[in-house]
Amino acid sequence: MRRVYFDNNATTPVLPEVFEAMRPYFTEHFGNASSIHHHGQETRAAVERARESVAALLGCRASEIVFTSGGTEGDNLAIFGLARAGDHVISSTIEHHAVLNSCKRLESTGCEVTRVPVDGRGLVDPDDVRRALGPNTRLISIMMANNETGVLQPVEEIGKIAAEAEVYFHTDAVQAAGKVPIDVNRIACDLLSISGHKMHAPQGVGALYVRKGTILQPMAYGGSHERSRRAGTENVPGIIALGKAAELAKAALDCGDLAQMAVMRDRIEQQILAEVEATGVNGDDAPRVPNTTNIYFDYIEGEALVIALDLKGLAVSTGAACSSGAIAPSHVLTAMGLPPERARASLRFSLGKQNTADEVKFALSLIPSAVAHLRQLSPVYHTAQSR
Ligand SMILES: Cc1ncc(COP(=O)(O)O)c(C=O)c1O
């Protein structure tokens, strides 16, 4: 059976070049990067080359990159590394659970957290961030690209506000890295997290940019790895893979390769909206990353459509992977003002480098009939039709 994967915001396949780059680090080059003998020196040099590649993708110095186990750890290290009891933190209502739940935990340890809202397009208003500042504000944590809608937040404006107020600014760029250019100095952020498996490197590796001079309280105690910012023997193969993925991502961004992805994404939207009634794109009036679209199909349950499409060979999602199976509608879509039924009727299509125009054609051949079939079974649809 043909299978097409349009759930690249959940995870991406490792690119063959990335796999080839990491492979020798499981076998021939197995040294511990902290060892002083030949084997250690060899892996240390490779880890430092990977650090240079990640730094080049983000526009920072190599020494400002801390390798982590992924986006969740980077977000946690940024937040718990800085915020203390009595501090005030500003975040938003549409963050990934890695930030949302970290902020919840902060509250239980004596921090105050303000969550700024988003408008109907899914955008934070920088003025809301400015208004939320107080004498104890220590950190602003607002994501760069939303994982469910792909909406890009005004991080450069927020960065300016943070700099003027002399408050730390962290941005979760897990869904932005490799999809849009990132320059930490333009954003004026102090911390920025990325994750390997969202950009065609393996699961379980990531990086946190930490601006020079920013002192983080470590989350784990042990050796002085990563300049004492993250103890523990490095995941060398994962780091080599992240370095290679960063190199490929930068090359693709530099030569405008992602325009093709936006064309495929737009084709999905245009054809679905033209062929299927009572549909629309969530966040279509906002700037977005080129690979993501979130579409509502009124009168159906998104989960049912995910299953129906999966049975025909198309993998999509109702939103964040970690919330699938949950009955609650997406916190992102409800924060944008969607009624719960419409939020539950929404599906995310997210493309990756491996996807082709032919796969888009295949997907589009399945969706209208799958939606029509589910609507035939839906009492809500029939009631709406008879009005
Ligand atoms: C925006 C965002 N932040 C953080 C994460 C967590 O990253 P990881 O899976 O590498 O822990 C994800 C993963 O879905 C994400 O989409």
Tell me the per-residue pLDDT of 290-309, one tens digit each, with 9 for 90 and over: 999 999 999 999 999 999 99
Q: Is 359 left (phi over 0), alpha (psi -120 to 50) or beta?
A: alpha
Rounded distance between C-alpha atoms, residue 147 and residue 85, angstroms: 29
First-last CA distance in the chain? 41
pLDDT in the model for residue 321? 44
Mean pLDDT (whole number) for 34-62 = 98
- Residue 322 annotated to the active site: yes
Other beta carbons within 10 Å of 346 = 27
Contact 204, 196 (CB under 8 A): yes
Q: Could you give the angle at the alpha carbon of 173 between the alpha carbons of 79 and 236, nearest 5°? A: 85
Mean pLDDT (whole number) for 299-326 = 83
| Cβ partners under 8 Å of residue 70, min gap 6 | 195, 196, 197, 203, 204, 205, 206
Contact 264, 351 (CB under 8 A): yes
Nearest residue (by CA) to ligand 1, atom 9, is 71
User: What is the per-residue pLDDT across 269-285, written as a single tens digit (0 to 9) for each?
Assistant: 999 999 999 999 999 99
Mean pLDDT (whole number) for 156-176 = 98
**At residue 124, what are phi and psi to the nearest 5 degrees?**
-75, 140
pLDDT in the model for residue 325? 54
Tell me the average pLDDT of the chain. 96
Mean pLDDT (whole number) for 125-129 = 98
Nearest residue (by CA) to ligand 1, atom 7, is 71
Report the pocket of ligand 1 as residue ranges, CB < 6 Å. Answer: 70-72, 75, 96, 98, 143, 147, 172, 174-175, 195, 197, 206
Contact 164, 194 (CB under 8 A): no
pLDDT in the model for residue 322? 45
Mean pLDDT (whole number) for 96-112 = 97
Closest approach atom of ligand 1 to CA 72: 11
User: What is the per-residue pLDDT across 362-383, written as a single tens digit (0 to 9) for each?
Assistant: 999 999 999 999 999 988 898 8
Q: Which of 26-40, 62-76, 314-328 has the lowest mean pLDDT?
A: 314-328
Q: Is the pLDDT of residue 324 over 80?
A: no
Pocket test for ligand 1, best of 174, 322, 332, 350 (most atoms within 8 A of CB): 174
Rounded distance between C-alpha atoms, residue 130 and residue 142, angstroms: 13
Q: Is the pLDDT of residue 116 over 50?
A: yes
pLDDT in the model for residue 126? 98
Other beta carbons within 10 Å of 16 = 10
Percent of the chain with pLDDT over 70: 98
